[in-house]
Structures are given as C-alpha cells and as structure tokens.
Amino acid sequence: MHIDAFICDAVTMREGLLHVLGAGITLLNRREFPAPLLMNIAVALTADNPGTYNVTVNVRAEGLDAVLDSVVGNIVSRQVGEPDDGVVVPFTISLGQSTVPAPGKYFIDISVDGELLRTLWFRVREAP
C-alpha cells in the first residue's frame, strides 16, 4: 500500500476525483492559542486489492508522544480497472475542528490497517 497526501485549505470529491484548493500547507499563522487548524487533507490510497481499510489519522506535536487529535474511519475500495491495476481510493480528512495548544511544529500520521504509511508536517507560529 502507498499513500499520497497533501495538507490543503479545502478539498471535495466527485466521481473519484479530488478537487483541491491551496495544497501544500506547511505554515499556519494564528493570533491566539489554542488555535483551530482549519485545514483538510487530500488523500489517495493505492492498494493491491479491493476491500475495506481502517484509516487512523493522529495529530501530534514535535517532541511529544501524546496524540492531540485523532480521526478514525473505514474506507471501501472497489476494482474499477483490470485486476493487475490495483485500486486507487481517494478520500478526504477534515481537521477543521482540531486545535493546537501553542506555536511549534506538528505532525499528522496517517496509518492504514495499523501500518504508518505517511507523515505530514506543518509549523504554527504566532501571527505578526
């Protein structure tokens, strides 16, 4: 399995296509803390076989093992091409309600069926 993912301002999905706005976020400016993230993640999972996959997304701060927020769910893939093509499953993750306690570097870990497949990072700083 393999995951491609981007932190973005907004993402929608239609007929298996991801429509992404403002992809590649690595820096957030916030005036007050705790601060809302107000971000989304556009994700494409590539798997060998169709099936149901358990996805876990954890947000954590640099230097801390504690999880600040977690999103858990299942995605279901179907074979749409030839069997040798594998499957690509696009999906979105909203972190709009998640908050960070202070300025610093944060990580987003994306695991599928218990296997960590991708870690994204971003930095939050106090707005000038």
User: What mean pLDDT is reported for the chain?
Assistant: 92
pLDDT higher than 80, residue 111: yes
Q: The dihedral of CA 69, 5, 55, 90: what is its sign?
A: positive
Q: What percent of the chain has pLDDT over 70?
A: 95
Provide the pLDDT confidence category of residue 82 given band limits of 50, 70 and 90.
low
Please compute the mean of the pLDDT values over residues 24-38 and round it to a whole number. Answer: 96
pTM value is 0.91
Provide the pLDDT confidence category of residue 87 given band limits of 50, 70 and 90.
confident
Please compute the mean of the pLDDT values over residues 51-69 and round it to a whole number. Answer: 93
In the chain the domains, ranked by start, together with CATH numbers, are 2-126 (2.60.40.2550)
Provide the pLDDT confidence category of residue 83 given band limits of 50, 70 and 90.
low
Q: What percent of the chain has pLDDT over 90?
A: 76
Please compute the mean of the pLDDT values over residues 82-105 and round it to a whole number. Answer: 88
